[in-house]
A = this chain, B = another copy of it.
Amino acid sequence: MSKIGIVGATGYTGSELLRLLAKHPDISIHVVTSRSEQGQPVAGMFPNLRGLLDLEFSDPKSAALRDCEVVFYATPNGTAMAEAGELLDAGIKVIDLSADFRLKDSQVWSQWYGQSHAAPELLAQAVYGLPELNREAIKKAQLVANPGCYPTAVVLSLLPVVEQGISGSNRIIVDAKSGVSGAGRKAAINTLFSETGESFKAYGASGHRHYPEICQSLEAAGQSSVSLTFVPHLVPMVRGIHSTAYVILEKDVDVQSVYEMRFETEPFIDIMPPGSHPETRSVRGSNVCRMSLHQPQRDMLVVLSVIDNLVKGAAGQAIQNMNLMCGYDETSGLDLSALLP
C-alpha cells in the first residue's frame, strides 16, 4: 500500500482523483492539502465522497507530504513548478496534473502561459504522461507531466496518422469540443450555468494553450514537423471531450486496420466498427478513449475521438501513470464502467 498525497484537491481534477483513489486497491490516501479549506472534512466539499473518505484537508506546508511515495499536484498552473523540486530531491514520485511540465521548451511555455518558468531545469527530466506514447519512459520516471485534456483526445486520435506518415505534409485540422468542467471549479462569470447553458460557441479560435502541447506530441511521435489547426468549442454539458480530426490521405491505406492494429493491446483504447459515431456519454466516468473512422471522401479521413476530460483527460490518466511508475497493474483502480445514460 503506497501512501499517496494530493496537493490542491478542491477542483474537479482533484475531486476526481479522490473519487478514484478512494477505491484503488494498492494505495492509501495519506494527505490531501488545501490552503483555503484546511481543517475541513473533504467530504463536506464533495458530498459524493461521504462515507468513502474520512479525511480533512491539511495545510499545504504539512510535513505529511514527505511521507508519501507519490504526490499528485492538482493545482493551478505555477504551483507544481515551484514546489516539485523539493519533493523530487526527497525521492518522492511526482505527477503534475497542471501544465507546468508539459512543454519541453521553457520559452514556449512562458509565451503561452504568460509567466516565466520557475524550474526549467526539471523539464528535461519530466516525462509526458501519455502511456500509449511513452509507456516505457513513464515506468522509469520520477516526474510525470500529465497531459492536458484536449491533447489526450487529439493526440491519441492522430498517433497512427503521424507514426505512419499517412497524411504527408498536409495540414491537419482538429475541431475539438469540451464540456464546461474543463474550465475548472473557480468563481467566474463566463462559465456560469446561465452563460453556457443552451448555447454553443468556439473560443480561443486564434490560439489556445493546448496547441503547442499537441504539436509537440505529434512531432515527437511522427519524428517530423506537423502542420496543424486547432479550434476548441464549449458544449453545454459537464463532462466530455469530442475531437473531430480531418486528415487528407496521401497514402491509400486501410485506416481501420491501421488503427485497430496500433491500439490492439491498449487497455483503454476502443476502436469502434466502421460506421460508428462515439458519444461522449459512452466514456463518462471511465478511463477509455473511444474512436471511430470515416472517409466521407476517398482521400479524406475523419477521426472521431471521445474521452471523459476528468478521467482519461486528467485524474484517470494520472492514476494510469502512477500504476506504471509504481509497478502496479496498469488498469488497477481504473476498471470503471461508463455511466450511460
Contacts and interface: CB of A to CB of B under 8 A. Distances in A.
Interface in A238-284: 238-240, 242, 244, 246, 248, 270, 272, 275-284
A304 interface: yes
Contacts of A239: 198, 341
A326 interface: no
A340 B51 contact: no
B337 A23 contact: yes
A205 interface: yes
A62 interface: no
A120 to B, nearest CB: 27
A294 B304 CA distance: 24
Nearest to A335: B23
Contacts of A47: 272, 276, 278-279, 282, 290, 340
Given A185-B189, A294-B205, A198 B248 contact: no
Contacts of A196: 193
Contacts of A22: 337
A185 B194 CA distance: 8
A12 B341 CA distance: 7
Copies in the complex: 4
Max chain B Cβ within 10 angstroms of own Cβ: one of A195, A199, A211, A294: A199
A231 interface: yes
A180 interface: yes
B340 A48 contact: yes
A197 B237 contact: yes
B207 A194 contact: no
A202 B277 CA distance: 6
A168 interface: no
Contacts of A181: 194, 341
Contacts of A118: none
Given A47-B279, A300-B171, A242 B238 contact: no
Nearest to A339: B285
Interface of A: 12, 15, 19, 22-23, 46-52, 171, 173, 175, 177, 179-181, 183, 185-189, 191-203, 205-207, 211, 229-231, 233, 235-240, 242, 244, 246, 248, 270, 272, 275-286, 288, 290, 292, 294-297, 300, 302, 304, 306, 335, 337-341
25 contacts: A12-B341, A19-B337, A48-B339, A49-B337, A51-B288, A177-B233, A179-B200, A180-B197, A185-B192, A187-B188, A191-B193, A191-B194, A193-B197, A193-B236, A193-B238, A197-B197, A200-B280, A205-B292, A206-B294, A229-B246, A229-B297, A229-B302, A231-B294, A233-B244, A285-B339
